Amino acid sequence: MLLPDDLRQRLATEIERLRPHAAVAWVAPANLHVTLKFLGQIDEARAPAVADALRSASARHRAFDLALRGLGAFPSPTRPRVLWAGLEDDAGALAALADAIDACCGELGFPRETRPFAAHVTLGRVREPTRRPQLGEALARPVDFGRVAVARVSLMRSELSPRGARYSELAASPLAVQ
C-alpha cells in the first residue's frame, strides 16, 4: 500500500530525529509503504495471475481510513532489529485485507503467513542489533503522523541495488467504494 506524500514527509522528519540514536539502514522517504504480503522473487509470467487475484480479493473489501501513530521496534524497543511507525487498525479492516491477500496468494502456491499480521510502516533496519536504551527512549515519544485513506492496493516490484531498493507498481487494485 503506497502512502501519500505528506505522510511520507512526516515519517522522513521522524527518521531524521531518530538517526543519531543507532546505525540503521533507513528506508528512503519515497520508498515508505505498507507491505500486506511479501511474495519474494516471482517469475514475470506469474505477475498477471497475481494481479488478477489481488483485484479479486481487493474488490471484496471496502475502502477505509487508518491512523498512522506511534513508533516501535521488532522484536522490542530495547533490542531493535526493525524500526517502525504504527498503523491503528481498530476495526481490523487492514488485517482482514492482508488475510484475504494472503489467502488468494496461497491459492497461487505462495506460502501462507505463519505470524499474525502486524500493521506497520518499516522505517529502517538496525545494522548491529545490540541493546540500545537511548533508541528505546526515543521511540517511546508519542507521535501522531495523521490519517491515511486506504482506497487501493498495489502489486509492487522491488529491485535491489547498492543505492537501495527501487520500487515500481506492476498493478493497482481498487477497494470497493464505501
pLDDT in tens, 74-109: 998 888 999 999 999 989 999 999 999 999 999 999
Domains of the chain, earliest start first? 5-174 (3.90.1140.10)
Q: Is 61 a catalytic residue?
A: no
pTM for the model:
0.91
33, 79, 125, 147: which is the annotated catalytic residue? 33
pLDDT confidence of residue 178: 59
Neighbours of 76 (CB within 10 A): 11
DSSP string, 67-82: EEEEEEEEE-SSSEEE
Q: Is 33 a catalytic residue?
A: yes
How far apart are alpha carbons 69 and 131 in whole angstroms? 24
The grid coordinates listed for 14 are: 521522524
